[in-house]
Amino acid sequence: MSRSFSAAAVAALLAALAGLVDALAYLSLGGFFASFMSGNTTKLGVGLATHDSASAWTAGALLLAFVCGAMVAALLAARFPARRKPVTMLAVTVILALAALLGGFVDRRFPPMLLAVAMGVENGVFSRDGEIAIGLTYITGALVKLGETLADALIGKGAPFAWAPHLVLWIGFAAGVVAGGCAFTRHGTRALWIAAAAAGVLTLLVVAIDGREKAAA
C-alpha cells in the first residue's frame, strides 16, 4: 500500500468519524455542530442579531471548544513531533471516551462541547509544519477542490483523477453523518461510545501505518 493511498484512506475514515460525531452533536443540541464551525458561526451571529442569548452562548462555547482542541493538537505536535499522528489520535479517542463516560451524569450540553474539542484535535492529525494538509472537517473546502479538479480534468490539466480523493473525503463525511444519525436514533447519548470505539480503532490503524512508514524510511 503506497503512502499516498494509505493517507487518503485514513483521511476518509477520519472524515467519517467527524461526520458521525457531528451528527451526534447536532441531534443532542438540536441544531449545533461539533465539527462544522461555519454553521456554529452562523448560529452565533443569528443568535446575537435576534437576541437569542441561549443559541449565541451555545454556538460560542462550541467555537471556543473547537479552538481549544486545535491548540491541544498543536501542543501535542510540538511535544511529540516523531509520534505526532498516533498521539493526536489517542487524544481524540480519550476525549470522545470522556464525553461518552460523562454523558449520563452531567448536563446534556457538556458532552457535545467535548466532541467539539475532539474534532479540533482531530484536524491536527494531518498538520504539517503548522499547516493543515488535509482538512478533515472542512468539507466545504473538499467540495471546492472537487469542483476545481473536475474542471482541470475536463480541460486536460493535471492528473485525470485528481478529483477522486476529494470526492472520497466528502463521501466519508456524509456516510459518517448517516451512521451517527442512525446510532443516535437507536441508542441516544449512548451512541457516544460508538464514536469513542471508532476513534480507538482508527488510533490503532494510525499507529500501525505510522510504524510501517518509519520502518520503511
CATH classification of the domain holding 35 = 1.20.1250
Helix 110-122, helix 84-102: angle, nearest 10: 170
Segment 31-46 shows an average pLDDT of 95
- Name 91's Cβ contacts closer than 8 Å, sequence gap at least 6: 72, 73, 76, 121
- Per-residue pLDDT at 76 exceeds 50: yes
Tell me the three cell numbers of residue 30: 438540536
- Name 152's Cβ contacts closer than 8 Å, sequence gap at least 6: 158, 162, 163
Q: Summarize pLDDT for 145-183 with one digit per residue, the tens.
A: 999 999 999 998 888 889 998 999 999 999 999 999 999
Q: What's the pLDDT band for 205 if we cut at 50, 70, 90?
A: very high
The pTM assigned to this predicted structure is 0.91
| Angle in degrees, CA 124, 128, 133, rounded to 5 | 75
DSSP 52: -
217 lies in some domain: no
Q: Which residue has the cell 471548544?
A: 65
**CA dist 163 → 53, 59, 103 (Å):** 42, 33, 39
- Name 160's Cβ contacts closer than 8 Å, sequence gap at least 6: 153
Q: Under a CB-based contact definition with an 8 Å cutoff, are residues 108 and 28 in contact?
A: yes
**CA dist 210 → 23, 64, 76, 148 (Å):** 29, 30, 16, 31
Q: How many domains does the chain have?
A: 1
- Per-residue pLDDT at 104 exceeds 90: no
Q: Which domain holds residue 117?
A: 3-212
CA-wise closest residue to 210 among 85, 94, 93: 85
Q: Which residue has the higher pLDDT, 133 or 155?
A: 155
- Per-residue pLDDT at 100 exceeds 60: yes
Segment 103-119 shows an average pLDDT of 88
pLDDT value at residue 167? 93
Sign of CA dihedral 91, 96, 99, 100: negative
CA-wise closest residue to 99 among 31, 204, 194: 194
- Per-residue pLDDT at 130 exceeds 60: no
Lowest mean pLDDT among 35-39, 72-76, 133-137, 209-213: 133-137
Q: What's the pLDDT band for 139 if we cut at 50, 70, 90?
A: confident
Please state, rounded to an integer, the average pLDDT across all residues of the chain. Answer: 90
- Per-residue pLDDT at 9 exceeds 90: no
Q: Which residue has the cell 499547516?
A: 131
